[in-house]
Structures are given as structure tokens and as C-alpha cells.
Chain A
Amino acid sequence: MAGEISISGVGETAYARRSERNVVSLAVEAVKNAAADAGLELGAIDGLIPIGSQITADDVMGALGLPLRFVSTTPLGGAAAVANLQLAEAAIHQGAASNVVILLAHKSASHATIDKRVRSLPGQTLRTELEIPYGWQTPAQWYAMICRRHMHEWGTTKDHMAAVALTMRANAQLNPGAMMYGRPMTREDYDAAPPIVDPYQRLDCSLETDGAAAVVIGVDGRAGVRVAGVGVGRPSSPDDLSNRRDWMAIGLSEAAPRVYEQAGIGPADVDAAMIYDCFTFEVIHQLEEAGFFPRGEAGPRIAAGAIALDGELPVNPHGGLLSEGHLGGLNHVVEAVRQLRGVCGERQLPAPERIAVTGWGGMGDGSMAILERAAG
């Protein structure tokens, strides 16, 4: 039955720096768009997986009257969007629901910025006792620590990180829905951006976005995009980044081999990747841990054009979290589906058949899915 479940619809709102609408209004628009895209009446949606702390099933039921008989979620920070593809599939397999919507709606730019959102992650006692007193408190500050170590151990440079930022921004110039559409970036812009947490500058960091995205999972969907494999992994000390024996090993390192096995393919069979690009180095890091490049090689290959639209492994044609908008990576699932359908206009890749999508959250939780264009 695994092959019959598909992603039948995708939908979103405009992505903005500041929306005047409330979060429920954004959620309603995304759900309606996704249901219409799937060819479903709203009444056919009987499962809901809300992601993040700003939208609940109650909000959506109250607004749309959906006959929900399955409501659940896997809370996994930025790894949740992809991880919940697994939960949606499990719910359908089990018979708990027929059409499950994964929904992310937030006003992260104008309302709840990342420094506030991280306070709902696990490990708060550790944070409070041992980290926050030293002023180490945000994802940028945590992950910059891994980046520095990678620079030392594996040779990543600011040139490599700039290449990620510039590639994402160039892609966004072909995506009218991207927040950074019409705002190209030069290397001078990248270098001149103010420091946030060295080695990260402003343009190494993803956007904060107000908006919503929704994805419908169901049986006999019309989209023709199936989930060929999906998995979740956690690093050895999931709530503590500092004391891992292997600092580069993250949840994704452990999840990726399982996902390839489930899909019956290897990294070389993937035509494009949607990488959770919360920060520039995280593209380098995850491309290596997902098996696309050996450690230490992603940076130089990216600088040589490997992840550009015409490269050997195009990454985030929509511009990613860095330049399209930050919808928790659910926008990466949306883009993968559209690329597989072949409806991406100027940024359309030449007939991709399989696209990997990653998620990354908390202190290194990971998720990955391989989406595949169904035959026929």
C-alpha cells in the first residue's frame, strides 16, 4: 500500500515580512488552496497535522468546520515538516484518516521570532543551567559552533558559504513568490552584511516569514507524487550539542541510509535536493551527512557550481529558507511536488523523477524524504 499514498495537493499564502492578517486567516487560505489543488472538497479532509506553536487543530476546525477524526503532530522543530510525512502515512495506513493535511502557519517575522520559538524546544533545563548564562541561546549561535568546527576540521570557508547564499538568491530571482524576488545579491552584499554570530553574517541566515503552507496526503491523489521513503533521526545526545563524540553526525546522518533503503535507491539516483537551509553552512553540512558528498567536499563542489539550477545536484530551486521564505521547510515539500509535476516555469528543472527533502531542527534532529514522480 505504501506506493499508493501520495501527496495530492499543495497550497500556500503569499510569503511576507509582515502580514496584517492573523495566523488563522493565513492557515485557512493555505488549507483551501491545498484542498483545491488536490481536487478535494474541504469536507473530505479528515486528518490534520499542525506544525509549530502558532496554529492548532482547534483554530482550523473552528474556522472551517472540518470533520477531523485524526489530529496529531511530531514536534521536531525544523525537522517536523518532513517528519510529519511519516506520521501522515502512518495515520492513513492505520485507517485513522483518508486525507491528511500537514499545515504550518506562523507570523514569525512580525510576531514570534526565533529567539522566542526556541523556548518551546526540549532540553530547557540544560539551556537554562549551562548555556543561556553564557549568552548561548539561539539556533544561529548553536549552529555557528558546528560551522566553526567544520571549517577547522573539514576546510569549509566563507567562500563556500557565500556560494550557498548567492545560489539561493539567484534561484529566488526566478521565483515570483519568493520574498527576495527582484532583490538580487552580489558577493559584495554578502561580505558587507553585519555579523550576527561569527562566523555567520546576516546573509548566512534564513529569513523570518509571515505566511502559511499546507500539503495534502491521501490515497489516489491526482498529483502523481508519492513518498518513496521517509525517516527521522536524532543525534546521540539529542538535547546536547556539545558532548557528541562525532560532532558532524546528526539525526540526518542516521536517517538518510534508512530512507535510501526504503526507496530502493542511493544518493546518485536523486535528481535534486531540497535542503533545510536555515543557515548557509547547514546546506554544506546536510549535503554531506545525507550522503551526496563526502565530508569536506560539499563546500568546494558548491563553489564550483554543483548545486546551481544547472549543476549536478540542484538545491532549492525556489530559493529556500534563505531567499524564498521560512515556512519551516514545508515550502521545500511544496517546491519538490511542483518540480516533480513540472509546473515551475523559469526555474523548472528538466523532468526530475526523484527529489530528496531534508529537515533539521533543535540540537540536530533530522528528517528526510524522497519524493518520486509516480509512473503514468
Chain B
Amino acid sequence: MANCGCCGCVFSDSNTALIGGSGSSDDAFAYQIIDPTFYANRYALRRQKSALQSIPNNALTAIDFTTAAAGSFNRGFTFTAPSTFVILTSGIYIFGASVNFETNVTGTRYIDVLKNGTTIMDANESNSNIGSHSVSLSSTDKFLSNDTLQFRVLQNSGIALNAEFAGESSPVFWAVYIGKFV
């Protein structure tokens, strides 16, 4: 076989036909990883809220990301204030979120990522205890262009609690494009 020196495509010895499968240009993944623009422009989003947000008792609340803290970036997404991130390119993504809740010993702390206003893509929940409490999640899935994502939180302490502003770690939502799905 002969290899193309610059893109990694594979050709058979006996003729000039391209070989399908892994390592050839017929393989969607291989085609993708050799695209110079893929690495240089990988779609990625990291949005950090720059202030605390009061979360009412026992009510799912989308984090308002209107004000972004330093360190936030957006390459390949659209943000619609106050809380909605729009995927522009269909594909597989890894996404995640984290938040710190104000100190309170009562109840549980819950977070999720909601797609298109209806589908919970991933969630996490834990009991509260002494001290401030952080909850984080990460997951992966397929998305279509114009799918929307929101980061929601819930607490049932019995009173309103703050989702705290903590540097670059709370509240934060992120997503990164991994590749196409065939």
C-alpha cells in the first residue's frame, strides 16, 4: 500500500483505488482527523457567570449567563440571553457544568442540562451537609444544529439559596465538539 504523505490516505498496491475503512479517506473519522481546520477551529464553549444568582426553594432554575466572567470563550455556538446555548453544527459533543451552592445543611442539591427545553441530557444530585456545596456533571451525546442547551439547578433547603460566584468554577457551563456522527 502507499500512503499519502500529507493526509494519511491509503492506496492499494495494485491500483490507484482508495481503500475504505480505518485510515483511508473513505472512513469518516479518518477524514475528519486530518482536516487541518478541525483542530485549529474546534468548536468549544466555556461560559462562566460573573455574579451570584439567588435560587428559589424547590424550583428548577436555569442559570442566567448574561454576564460572562473572564476566561469565558465561545467558538461555534450562539448564546441567547439569559440562559440558552445554541449548537450550530450537528455532531457529537462532550458537555458539562458545575455550581457551588451557598452553605445550608438542609435538603438536596440538584443540577441538570436540558436540551430543547424538554429533554434532560444528564443530571447529578447529592445531599447537603455542613459547608458550601459543589455539584458537577459531564456527559456526551449527539446533537443537531439549532439544538439548545440550558444549565438548570434546584435546591430544596426550604429557603432561597445563592448559586455562588466562585472564580472560574461556578457557575460554569461548557461544551466541546468531538466529531461528526454518520
Pair from one complex: no
